[in-house]
Amino acid sequence: MDAETSNRTKKPATAARIYDFFLDGLHNFPADREAAAQVVAMMPAAPAMAKANRAFLRRGVRFLAEAGVRQFLDLGSGMPTQGPVHQIAQRIAPDARVVYVDIDPIAVSESQELLAGNDRAMAIHGDMRQPQEVLGHPRVRKMLDFDQPIALLLCAVLHFVPDDDVAYALVDEFRGALAPGSFLLLSHGANEGAQASVSTEEHDQIQRVYGQRTATPAGGRTRDGVARFFGAADLVDPGIVWAPEWRPGPEDPKHFAADPRLSCIWAGIGRLP
């Protein structure tokens, strides 16, 4: 097989599986590992950043379940492994219901396999840039009651929507569909962190890895740009901070203790009025 044919027959890399590789997961293919290696060559801390993000997600979901949230809509959910949302929420509240949505069909089918037998957690294939398709999906409507509070999770996914017009409009639309007292949990690649970690040239090269090797180009935002996603939501303490600084727990990775900026991830949770 010549190189061109081999490239064509190889599964292209995806953001979900590159991230899974960074988390030491088993749901990734050679193309994902090659793309991940290119990122790590420029940004050696990339796996630690992914782990810091995932640790924030675990702490955030625990906080939300303890605050009484019983419904979760996780957009750009990736693989439900390494402390997945449904396990954390249902450990605290067995009646918690979780809908996972991802654009990567393989992430979705693996999620469906892992969730088999759990009638309060499900995964659908969907593109969050089409909010009405996700919100109107019959299985989403059956699982979630939009008259009651829902936690909308947008964890490490909005940087895969670099176009501001599209990103802010989609979050407005999802927020607008939620009942008062709902929550928004959000984490996002940070331009300020990237500037502290890599050169502009390396940063551009990392963006090219996602732009050329996956279907989801990536681009960070500043803290102000991230704050805009929360709209009128009241931020819960400590506000929008570096991911390792959001209510850190004793079991969390300590990679960025010396300089949390280098986690390159802004994180926060807000409660909708």
Binding site for ligand SAM (CB under 6 A): 14-16, 19, 53-54, 57, 75-78, 101-104, 107, 127-129, 155-157, 160, 216
Burial of 21 by CB count in 10 Å (0-12 exposed, 13-18 middle, 19+ buried)? buried
Of 64 and 156, which has the nearer Cβ to ligand SAM?
A: 156
Report which of 228, 221, 223, 246 is spatially closest to residue 236, judged by C-alpha positions. Answer: 246
Strand, helix or coil for residue 245: helix
Number of neighbours of residue 190 by Cβ within 10 angstroms: 28
Question: CB–CB of 52/260 below 8 Å?
Answer: no
Of 45 and 101, which has the nearer Cβ to ligand SAM?
A: 101
Of 166 and 273, which has the nearer Cβ to ligand SAM?
A: 166
Q: How far is the CB of 136 from ligand SAM (least distance, A)?
A: 15
Q: CA neighbours within 13 Å on the CB side: how many for 24?
A: 6
Of 107 and 115, which has the nearer Cβ to ligand SAM?
A: 107
Strand, helix or coil for residue 235: strand
Q: How far is the CB of 271 from ligand SAM (least distance, A)?
A: 20
Strand, helix or coil for residue 74: strand
Phi and psi at 79, nearest 5°, equal -90, 135
Of 102 and 252, which has the nearer Cβ to ligand SAM?
A: 102
Q: How far is the CB of 1 from ligand SAM (least distance, A)?
A: 28
> CA 74, CA 238: separation in Å to the nearest integer?
22
Q: How far is the CB of 20 from ligand SAM (least distance, A)?
A: 8
Q: How far is the CB of 2 from ligand SAM (least distance, A)?
A: 30
